Amino acid sequence: MNRMYRKVLETSLGAFTLASDGEQLTGLWLRGQKYEKQTIHPTAVEDNDLPLFLKVEEWLERYAQGEAPSIDFLLKPEGSTFRQEVWKHLLAIPYGEVETYGNIAKKMERSHGRAMSAQAVGGAVGHNPISILIPCHRVVGSNGSLTGYAGGIDMKKHLLTIEGVQMNGLYEPRPVR
């Protein structure tokens, strides 16, 4: 097995854990994120100077300043074929725009010729191991609900605000009692 690397990174967006195989980014999790470090290899060694990690840090800082930087490094999220397909749909959502879980399911239905569940799409979105870069924060409920972000609703709102998303029509769901 190839050597795996990790780094804890403090940015203006918050603290992150990064993971890589040395060539490709395999993980980027906000501290405390649901499923944090779920796909990080247990033998990963800390490397704060890995060139890829420095590129990711620069990307995150530019993004935090309101830029829409292009990703000029490789992403390799680990997951099932279904999850990989959902994550490709996430990568197609333009900066500053949102998409619904249901619309992603409909797009997948058209390409597969069979029904796809918005809930299954939501599960795949929630297990995205490369936050922000694979923009799961751009997915909302069909009714405008800002539901389902593993990094928390406040972070989701913050990221959408950075991107200039018009927040009217979007709302924070009330907790179920």
More confident residue, 44 or 159: 159
What is the pTM for the complete model shown? 0.91
Q: Buried b / exposed e across 54-66, counting CB within 10 Å, b at 16+?
A: eebbebbeebbee
User: Considering 136, 139, 159, 160, which one is annotated as catalytic?
Assistant: 136
Q: What is the mean pLDDT of residues 53-58?
A: 97
**41-45, 58-62, 155-159: least confident range:** 41-45
- Residue 1, pLDDT above cutoff 80: no
Query: Mean pLDDT, the chain, as a whole number?
Result: 92
Please give the helix or strand (H or E) that residue 47 lies within, else none: none
- Portion of the chain with pLDDT greater than 70, in percent: 95
pLDDT band at 32 (very low <50, low <70, confident <90, very high): confident
Please say if 46 is a catalytic residue.
no
Q: What are phi and psi of 155, to 5 degrees?
A: -65, -40
C-alpha neighbours within 13 Å on the C-beta side of residue 1: 8
CA dihedral 76, 79, 84, 89 (to 10 degrees): -90
- Residues in the chain, total: 177
The per-residue pLDDT for range 79-111, each reduced to its tens digit, is: 999 999 999 999 999 999 999 999 999 999 998
| pLDDT at site 151 | 84
